[in-house]
Amino acid sequence: MYFVKTPEFIKWFYPSLIWDIPVTGNTLFITFDDGPDENVTPLALDLLETYNARATFFCVGEKAEKQPGLLNRIKNNGHAIGNHSFNHIKGKKTKSKDYFKNIEEAGLILNTVLFRPPYGSIRNTQIKQLRKDYKIVMWSVLTGDFDPKISREKVLRRSIRYTKKGSIIVFHDNNKFKDKMLYALKGFLQHFSELNYNFNPIIADGL
């Protein structure tokens, strides 16, 4: 089970995490998890470029290490990079010492102060320690592009439905979810572009 729109009580329970970003204008923050993927990330980058959109890519360290050219393309296109651990591990199922080491290993490759816990799985004690060095970015809208039980049309519909100014939206540049993600991303970009929204990367200094 997962929430498409993050409930207010969860935000209240974890107030030190970043769930959305206060804005004055029509601005959204598209994010990607699980990449970079040579079969998906370039296509996502092409779509973003078509709509003059900038996003934030929370990268898995071991994947980024194998795709340095793709990582550079993400940066050179004006997008932000975030840390998504080295092996995409769950914080709540990992000893904190090992969890921090895994994140640190990814950090040597990604060089960023933005972090998103894989699966959103993290303990309060881990949050307290990581906040010394990282801005922990969660989300307002989880599109569900990873969900095999729903259609790509539904992914698009509900990603649009629950998005508002300042929302942080999660897509996955993962080959397992390629069709759904790209379909929903294109429709999402088209819809909000027609409404004169801007798509910005997450800047750590502004958090």
How far, in Å, CA of 124 to CA of 20, rounded?
19
- Which residues are part of the catalytic machinery? 33, 172
How far, in Å, CA of 24 to CA of 14, rounded?
24
- What is the token pair recorded at 56? 């934030």
Three-state DSSP at 163 gives: coil
How far, in Å, CA of 42 to CA of 48, rounded?
10
Give phi and psi for 54, each to the nearest 5: -120, 145
The alpha carbon torsion through 193, 30, 181, 70 (nearest 10 deg) reads 110
Longest dimension (CA), the chain: 47
Q: Which amino acid is at 68?
A: P
Q: How far is CA 187 from CA 34, 48, 74, 88, 140, in A?
A: 21, 12, 21, 28, 18
Q: How many CA atoms lie within 13 A of 193 on its CB side?
A: 14
How far, in Å, CA of 109 to CA of 82, rounded?
11
